Amino acid sequence: EECLLCAAAYSAAVKAYTSMVPDGAGGATMQLHTYLDSQELRHWLQLFWEQLPAMRERRAAASERILPAIVFSLASSGLVLLDRTHVATPFDDMVLAVQSRAGHARLDEQCAGESMLLDATDATRPVLAGILQVGFGLAPSNIAWSEEHRGSEEDLLWSTGMTPFGPYSKHVSLSFALRDAVRRAALHAR
């Protein structure tokens, strides 16, 4: 279903940047890339919140919390990501995602000498990760606490396996540890 307010929010959040891309002949060419500023997109969606079709149709009951996952599914074949690097971004009140027909984007990370690829055509796994973060309080498996820095930092050691988090996993299913953590979070919330 087409949403004109969503299109307006999308248009306001489109940004561009340039980068040098190797041309194969030992040189480089400048390339223009578009992306969505997730903070800007969220800002405009919040302004339009009450008028959005899905928000008018369903209101939360007293004991419920509605966590919208808004996915922009683009017909274009150009790569468009949130904040230049993400397919989905979780916020306290929503999960935003974008998918297009761009195929795969090459990441800076490597595994066994092979470049990792980001699937920009299917936002299912990143949206699930965002819902687990916001709705159930699960920390991504690629984030670890550093006592030395007194904050979280990326640690890709645990980003493999049956987890929707991180660049190395391709799984939409949840491991026993994640399913158990979701159940415990639901019990503690009661």
pLDDT in tens, 118-131: 888 999 999 999 99
User: pLDDT at residue 168 above 90?
Assistant: no
Contact 125, 171 (CB under 8 A): yes
User: Helix or strand or coil: residue 171?
Assistant: coil
- Spatial distance between the Cα atoms of 5 and 45, rounded to a whole number of angstroms: 8
| pTM (2 d.p.) | 0.83
Q: Give me Rg for the CA atoms of the chain.
A: 18
The set of residues, in sequence order, having a beta carbon less than 8 Å from that of 188 and lying 6+ positions away, is none
pLDDT in tens, 52-62: 877 777 777 77
User: pLDDT at residue 188 above 70?
Assistant: no
